[in-house]
Structure 1
C-alpha cells in the first residue's frame, strides 16, 4: 500500500477545511455558484386567460432571452391567488422558484385570507403597471340606458343589490370597485358580489349572464370589447389609454381613484441577494427593451421597471392603500 506523504496530508487537511466551510455556510456557497444553471419556474397564481396571465407570460418570454435559461410560467390558481403564493413561500429559497403577482398579496392578507403579506417575500422587480377597466355587459347597458360611469353609479344608487358584480375576494379588483363606489359617495356593499378565482372566469361569467359587471384591464378585455359583449365604463388611471382614446378616465367622470395594477416578481424570504440581483437585471433589460415596451403598450399596459430596493418602497405604499379600505372590503 502507498504511504501518505507530506503533500497528501496537506491536501487532506485542505479538503477537511473546505468541507467544514460548506457545512457552516451553505447559503454563501450557493450564492457563489453559476446562477442560474438551470431553468426557473415562475408561478402565476391565476388561471389562464386573464390579464395577469398574459402579461406575466410576455415578461417571462423576454426575460428568458436576457437570462440565458428558460423562465417557465406555471398556473397555480385558487383561493384568491393564495395557493400559488403559498407554494412559492414554502419553496426552497434559491431563486429557482419565483412568484409573479401584484396587490392581491396584500389584499389577501388584509382580508384575513392568509397570514402573510408582502413582508414574507423578497421583492425582485416591478415589471408593468396596468390601468383597471371597470366594465359591464353591453346587453345590461342597453337594457338600462347606461352610457357611462355616472349612469352606472346612478343605477346602483337607485337599485342597490341589483347588479351582480364579479370579483376575486381580497384581490386588486376587489379593492378597485370598492374605492370607485366609496369615491362616488356610495356604499361599497351596494353591489351583489360574486366571487371568482381570477379575471378569466369573470369574463366567462359576463358572457354567460351570471354577472353584469367586473373589473379587468385592456389586455384581457380587448376581445370582448371588440366583439361587442363588454362596455367599459372608464379607465382607472391619470391619463386616457391610447387603445381606447375616447374613453374617459374615472377621475374625469368625478371619481378620485387612480391606482393601477402593479405586476412584479417575488422570491421566497431568504433567497440569496446575488440570485435576486441576477434575475432583476434580466427583467430590467427585458422591460426596458423597445420590443417589449411596444408589445406591452399594445396590450393596454405600460413597462415600469423598479429594482429590489425601489420596489420594496413601492410595495410599502401599495400595502398602505390596500389596508385603507380593508374593513369595508371584508363586508362583501
Structure 2
C-alpha cells in the first residue's frame, strides 16, 4: 500500500541544493565579492597641470585626504596641456565606475566655445563636488596716479585706451574678468597679453605697465609695498588681504573665482557619486588641506553635487556669451 507524499516534505536533493545556494557567496572569489563595496581598489585622479605647481600641490593634498576618508589610495596622474582640458577629455572614454576622476578647471566650460573639443562639459561629465578656486586681483604700481578701484575708473574715463594692464593670455580668466569689469564700468583699457605670470611681474615691477590682472603672484610685492592691490575678484574679501575690497563691493558686479572641483565620466552610479562627494567634502575639514589652500591664497568654495551641476550649466552658457561678445568664438 503506497502512502501519499506529504505536501511540505523536501527531498534530500532539494535540501542539498538549498544549502549549496546559501553557501554560494562564501565560495565566490574575494575580488568578486569586493566589487560590491566601493572603493575596493586605487582611484586615479587626473590633475591637468604640470607637477610642482600650486594646482598640483592642492590636488595632491585633496587626494591624500580623500584617500584616508575612503580607505583607499587616490593616485594623482598629471596630464598637462591643452589649457587644462585633458582630464575632461579623458573622461569621454573612461568607465563610469568611480575609479577614474579629474579636476574640473574653469577652462573646460570656456575653451569648447573657442576651439573644437571632444567633450561637452555638461553632457559628458558627472560633477561630483566643488572644493575651491583661485584668488584673482587687480594690482598697480605703487606710484600709479590712483589709489582705489574707483579712482582708477575715473582715471580711465579721463584717459580712454591709455591705461594698460597685463594678463596671462587672450581668453584666460585674468583677461576675461577685466574685460567684463571694464564693460560694466564703461571704461576702455588697453590689454597687454603675456605668456605667463613671471613675464607680467617682470613688466610691472620694471615699470613697463602700470596695472595687471592675475592670481596671487602679486602677493609678496603687495606685502612689500612695491605694488598696490586695488581689488580682488572673489565673492568675498580674501583673508590674506582683509582691507582690500572686492570689485563687487566697489560697485561693479563682477566675480571671478574660477571654482573647481572633482568630476568623473557621465553615467556614474548615484551611490558611488555620494561616497566620493562625502569623502572629498570631508577634506575641507582637514587641517593639512586648509593649510595648503592658505599657502596658495585659495578660498574654500564648496558646492554639493546638485549645486555643482547647476553651476556647470550656468557657467557654460555664460562663457559662451562672453566669448562671443569679445569676438573669440570658434568659426562654425
Identify whether the pair has TM-score above 0.5, normalized to the shorter chain: yes
- Is 1:326 paired with 2:327? no
Q: CA RMSD in A?
A: 3.8
Describe how 1:146-225 pairs up with structure 2 within 5 A.
146-150=146-150, 152-153=152-153, 154=155, 158=159, 160=161, 163=164, 165-187=166-188, 190-194=190-194, 196=195, 202-209=196-203, 212=209, 214-218=212-216, 221-225=218-222
Give the superposition deviation at 1:256. 2.1
Confirm or deny: 8 A CA contact 2:201 2:218 kept in the other structure: no
Describe how 1:33-48 pairs up with structure 2 within 5 A.
33-48=36-51
Cα distance in 1 for partners of 2:249, 2:136 equals: 15
Cα distance in 2 for partners of 1:279, 1:245 equals: 34
Structure 1 residues 134 and 30, CA, compared in 2 at 3 Å: closer, same or farther?
A: farther
Equivalent pairs counted in the alignment come to: 300
Q: Which runs of 5+ in 2 are unaligned?
A: 1-12, 26-31
Who is 2:6 aligned against? none
| TM-score relative to the length of structure 2 | 0.73
Describe how 1:1-332 pairs up with structure 2 within 5 A.
32-48=35-51, 51-114=54-117, 116-136=120-140, 138=141, 142=143, 144-150=144-150, 152-153=152-153, 154=155, 158=159, 160=161, 163=164, 165-187=166-188, 190-194=190-194, 196=195, 202-209=196-203, 212=209, 214-218=212-216, 221-226=218-223, 231-289=228-286, 292-293=289-290, 296-297=293-294, 299-331=296-328
SS at match of 1:322: helix
Structure 1 residues 71 and 135, CA, compared in 2 at 3 Å: closer, same or farther?
A: farther
Confirm or deny: 8 A CA contact 1:132 1:235 kept in the other structure: yes
Confirm or deny: 8 A CA contact 2:43 2:100 kept in the other structure: yes
SS at match of 1:107: helix
Cα distance in 1 for partners of 2:107, 2:34 equals: 30
Cα distance in 1 for partners of 2:34, 2:269 equals: 6
SS at match of 2:102: strand
Q: Which runs of 5+ in 1 are unaligned?
A: 1-5, 19-28, 197-201
Structure 1 residues 111 and 329, CA, compared in 2 at 3 Å: closer, same or farther?
A: farther
Cα distance in 2 for partners of 1:231, 1:47 equals: 30
Cα distance in 1 for partners of 2:182, 2:37 equals: 51
Give the superposition deviation at 1:122. 0.6
Cα distance in 2 for partners of 1:162, 1:92 equals: 50
Cα distance in 2 for partners of 1:36, 1:114 equals: 31
| TM-score relative to the length of structure 1 | 0.73
Give the superposition deviation at 1:226. 4.0
Cα distance in 1 for partners of 2:40, 2:307 equals: 27
Moved more, 66-75 or 228-237: 228-237
